[in-house]
Amino acid sequence: MRDRHSNGFYNRSSELRTIHNALRSDRAELVVMFGRRGVGKSELLVRAIPPRGFYYQATAQLMQQQLVDLTQELNRVAGGRAIIGQLDSFSAVLAAVVALARRDKDDPFTLVVN
Ligand SMILES: Nc1ncnc2c1ncn2[C@@H]1O[C@H](COP(=O)(O)OP(=O)(O)OP(=O)(O)O)[C@@H](O)[C@H]1O
Ligand SMILES: [Mg+2]
């Protein structure tokens, strides 16, 4: 994956503001993003979430490989606060994400699986 916060990204300030406002909100929010293929939806998501947010772009690879990549992202987000061994199902990944999110109750946790 390309560096999530590199330069060369343009023309999305109002969309970023919309997403940031929803993420900052203390109420439940629903934001719908739609657009034709390749218009920049995924890139916008990547840019919109905080560096400590969990982001995973699903691929056509076998689930086994995707679980390796999901676990790696989980470890990145955990930032060395826990060594998380290889997770063997998507529900195990979600359970680990929930446990991580609950550790800092005052700190909102962002999860994106695209
Ligand atoms: N605002 C932007 N500035 C510069 N490059 C961009 C921008 N948005 C997207 N791109 C580039 O355009 C290409 C397509 O973007 P992206 O994958 O985000 O599209 P998408 O809408 O998610 O496509 P798909 O519908 O296939 O999932 C990528 O190479 C991405 O890096
Ligand atoms: Mg996409």
The answer to whether residue 24 scores a pLDDT higher than 50 is yes
Instruction: Give the ligand 1 atom nearest the CA of 9.
Output: 3
Q: Residue 47, Cβ neighbours under 10 Å: how many?
A: 16
pLDDT of the residue at 80 = 77
- Pocket probe for ligand 1: among 43, 44, 45, 114, the residue whose CB has the most ligand atoms within 8 Å is 43
Residue 4 in any domain: the answer is: no
Residue 30 in any domain: the answer is: yes
38 lines ligand 1 (CB under 6 A): yes
Each residue of 2-23: pLDDT tens digit? Answer: 445 556 777 899 999 999 999 9
Residue 84 in any domain: the answer is: yes
The answer to whether residue 1 scores a pLDDT higher than 50 is no
What pTM, to 2 d.p., does this model score?
0.84
Each residue of 34-71: pLDDT tens digit? Answer: 999 999 999 999 999 998 899 999 999 999 999 999 99
Residue 85 in any domain: the answer is: yes
User: Out of 18-22, 42-46, 92-96, 102-106, which region has the weakest mean confidence (pLDDT)?
Assistant: 102-106
Residue 105 in any domain: the answer is: yes
Residue 17 in any domain: the answer is: yes
Contact criterion met (CB below 8 Å) for 53 and 19: no
Q: What's the total number of domains in the chain?
A: 1
Instruction: Please give the residue range of the domain that contains residue 25.
Output: 13-113
Residue 44 CA to ligand 1 centre (angstroms): 8
Residue 25 CA to ligand 1 centre (angstroms): 26
The answer to whether residue 83 scores a pLDDT higher than 80 is no
* Angle subtended at Cα 7 by Cα 55 and Cα 34, rounded to the nearest 5 degrees: 50
pLDDT of the residue at 5 = 52
Residue 6 in any domain: the answer is: no
For residue 113, list its beta bridge partners.
56
Ligand 1 atom 31 nearest Cα: 43
